[in-house]
Chain A
């Protein structure tokens, strides 16, 4: 490993972006971005719309390859594809793409990771339904969703925040190592947001690395160990979560807006 210092400070870097630049034609979406996430750590990534947050997500999940720069996982530089990202345990939870509304909870929870009896190489082996339903209910219970008594219920019965929490729990259950959360609390009530943040914190405490992306710093600040502020495709500053207040972050972002956005001149 190149930076021995990291292993002294804490666990080694799980994910490491080094001098990543991404251009689309003449547009430079990311400019020389370096970013690390360690196991057990929540890293907040905040920035305005167009700051390059989504581009970073797409690079980490293997949808985009960086124009220049490297992505490392477990200290190994890699050329990520979507399948590889999944294989490595990089799981993204999106706001609208958490669960299928009409599909029952257990089918949702085990989608793509179904438990089957007998040889899993045979295409049409029987599902271990009972076991999957029990596991789904146990995970719901752990989230405090004890009002759900049957895993046969459609996911539509859950509120937005409960769906997010269940999606995060599912990723943890299936051994995700790096969780990417893209604005998981947008459109949620305060109470629901707190529940989701709680789920995020508990996931990190179990040893997952979490990259939490949002433009709402009041959501990110309470759970993040570190906060990276992104501006116009560059890392503008990096803070320890405890060293910075929501107001500091807000003023940083509004300063950027003031400098670059003519609409804010008034």
Chain B
């Protein structure tokens, strides 16, 4: 009797364990967190100063821009669309902002909303063209990207634009936070991630975003304004890309057309590493943030241990492929484990 009940308890425990493992796996956040912790531990052991103030400063300043862009791109990807024009808009925002400040003598608080509105207009165009003509956003935003990069070179006349005047807005967007190694820009990134995570996870709109990414028109059949949702997400993506660029500019005080030229791809890598499906519907903004930290750790960590800078680029490519494979595998294994534990409990 006794042995039997012990065996029973053991079996229940095993099933519970399978359930927990399955939940973790299907949650898709566990993977990126493990990778991040492993990387940080590795670099810390190897160099002994991964967690130093200079390192954290470097890492967060790399991460801030990509974190903002990838948060917005995650929301867009949940609704089944891509934005390859984010990096072009990331440069366009500060170029316009800088031109408004210098050539038009605008005050920064006036120049900012105007520059951001123009960035929003790009997103609106991306959204309307994609939804009205029913073409893949890969094409719309790739086209937009080329068009904007050309425009950026034209309006900046190929120059580095500089601005050194003091202004409270610059401190708020890109200044150092007290005596911490953090820049204001990183706090803005954390705020954006928090807000978009809340929206995509805990609001009606988030549910609509996810449903819009589903295939076969189910969302439309349920009365969800799919085209409007997608268009809004394109606008959010462009506006935040412009905002991220301007925030970086307030910190570095210089901008050229080549600014952040591969950031949209890094943002997509971060999003995918963070567990968001390239087919839409499932994923999380928080995951993309962790994905961004993974990329930033790699970047600073590799330099720290003296690896050639070119490794970073190659490793990112390999990580992207591994992440997609792992997402698919882990997702499947997770549901299998859950099913097993549920069958056993039933």
| Bound-state Cα–Cα, A86 to B223, Å | 9
Decide yes or no whether A64 CB sits under 8 A from chain B. no
- A110 and B203 within 8 A (CB): no
Q: List which A154-174 residues lie within 8 A (CB) of chain B.
A: 154, 156-157
Q: Does B281 count as interface, using CB distance less than 8 angstroms? A: yes
Task: Output the least CB separation between B283 and chain A (Å).
Answer: 10
* In the assembled complex, B217 has its CB within 8 A of some CB on chain A: yes
| Inter-chain contacts of B222 with A (CB < 8 A) | 111-112
A138 to nearest B CB, angstroms?
A: 16
Among B23, B280, B281, residue most surrounded by chain A Cβ atoms (within 10 Å): B281
Contact A102 B282 (CB under 8 A): yes
Partner of B205, one of A110, A123, A154: A123
Interface: A234 (CB within 8 A)? no
A210 sits at the interface (CB 8 A): no
User: When the two chains form their complex, are residues B218 and A99 in contact, meaning their CB atoms are under 8 A apart?
Assistant: yes
Interface residues of A in 78-106 (CB under 8 A from B): 83, 86, 92, 94, 96-103
- B240 touches A (CB below 8 Å): no
Complex Cα–Cα for A127 and B223 (A): 18
Kindly supply a per-residue 1/0 record for chain B positions 53-80, scoring 1 wherever the CB is within 8 Å of any chain A CB and 0 otherwise: 0000000000000000000000000000
Q: Which residues of chain A come closer than 8 Å to B206, judged between CB atoms?
A: 127
Instruction: List the one stretch of B89-97, B114-122, B144-152, B335-343 in contact with chain A.
Output: B335-343
Within the assembled complex, what's the spacing in Å between the Cα atoms of A125 and B204? 8
| A116 proximal to B (CB < 8 A) | yes
Cβ-based interface call for A245 (8 A): no
Q: Is A191 located at the chain interface by the 8 A CB criterion?
A: no
Contact A94 B221 (CB under 8 A): yes
Q: Is A153 part of the binding interface, using a Cβ–Cβ cutoff of 8 Å?
A: yes
Within A128-155, the residues touching B (CB, 8 Å) are: 129, 146-150, 152-154
Contact of B335 with A96 in the complex, beta carbons under 8 Å: no
Main secondary structure of the interface of B (DSSP, over half): helix
Q: What CA separation (Å) do A99 and B221 show in the bound complex?
A: 10
Are A154 and B338 in contact, CB atoms less than 8 angstroms apart?
A: no
Contacts A147-B346, A157-B335 hold; do A103 and B216 have CB atoms under 8 A apart? Answer: no
Partner among A97, A129, A154 whose Cβ is within 8 Å of the Cβ of B217: A97
A127 contacts across to B, CB distance below 8 A: 202-204, 206-207
Q: Is B214 an interface residue (CB 8 A)?
A: yes
A103 adjacent to B338 (CB under 8 Å): no
CB of A185, distance to nearest CB on chain B (Å): 19
Cβ–Cβ contact B202 & A126, under 8 A: yes
B203 CB contacts on chain A under 8 angstroms: 116, 123-127
A194-222 Cβ-contact flags toward B at 8 Å (1 or 0): 00000000000000000000000000000
Interchain CA distance A157-B206 in the complex, whole Å? 22
Smallest beta-carbon distance B297→chain A, Å: 29
A112 to B214, CA, bound (A): 14
Q: Contact partner of A107 among B23, B207, B221, B280, CB < 8 A?
A: B207
Q: Is the CB of B343 within 8 A of A116?
A: no
Is the CB of B345 closer than 8 A to any CB of chain A? Answer: yes
Q: Which of under 10, 10 to 19, 20 to 34, or 35 or more describes the interface residues of A? A: 20 to 34
A124 in contact with B205 (CB, 8 Å)? yes
Residues of B within 8 A of A129 (CB): 202
In the bound complex, CA of A245 to CA of B24 (Å): 53
Q: Which residues of A contact B224 (CB under 8 A)?
A: 111-112
Specify which chain B residues have a CB less than 8 angstroms from the CB of A86 in the assembled complex. Answer: 223
CB-defined contacts of A98 to chain B, threshold 8 Å = 218
Q: A100-B281, A149-B345 are in contact. Are A157 and B202 (CB under 8 A)?
A: no
Q: Does B211 contact A (CB under 8 A)?
A: yes
Residue pair B204, A116 in contact (C-beta under 8 Å)? yes
A194 to B218, CA, bound (A): 24
B281 adjacent to A103 (CB under 8 Å): yes
Q: Which chain B residues (196-218) contact chain A, with CB distance < 8 Å? A: 198-199, 202-208, 210-211, 214-218
Given the complex, which residues of B lie within 8 Å of A150, measured CB to CB? 23, 338, 342
Within 8 A of A (CB), among B246-265: none
Is B187 interfacial (CB 8 A cutoff)? no
Q: In the complex the two chains form, is A110's CB within 8 Å of B207's CB? A: yes
- Residues in A with CB closer than 8 Å to B221 are 92, 94, 97
A102 touches B214 (CB 8 A): yes
**Are A147 and B342 CB-contacts (below 8 A) given A96-B216, A97-B221?**
yes
| Complex alpha-carbon distance, A149 and B204, angstroms | 24
Per the bound structure, the CA–CA distance linking A100 and B214 in Å amounts to: 6
Indicate if B163 sits at the interface (CB-CB under 8 A): no
A216 to B205, CA, bound (A): 40
A114 at the interface (CB under 8 A from B): yes
Other-chain residue from A92, A111, A114, A154 in contact with B335 (beta carbon distance below 8 A): A154
* B219 contacts chain A at the CB level, 8 A cutoff: yes
A83 CB contacts on chain B under 8 angstroms? 223
Q: How far is the CB of A84 from chain B (nearest CB, A)?
A: 12
Given contacts A147-B346, A149-B346, 14 further A-B contacts (CB under 8 A): A83-B223, A97-B218, A98-B218, A102-B279, A107-B211, A111-B224, A112-B211, A124-B198, A125-B203, A127-B207, A146-B346, A150-B23, A153-B335, A156-B335
Show 8 A/B contacts (Cβ-Cβ < 8 Å), sorted by A: A83-B223, A94-B221, A100-B219, A112-B223, A114-B204, A114-B207, A116-B203, A150-B342
Across the A-B interface, the 8 shortest Cβ-Cβ residue pairs: A100-B214, A102-B281, A114-B204, A112-B222, A149-B342, A97-B221, A124-B203, A112-B223
Mark A residues whose CB is within 8 Å of B: 83, 86, 92, 94, 96-103, 107, 110-112, 114, 116, 123-127, 129, 146-150, 152-154, 156-157
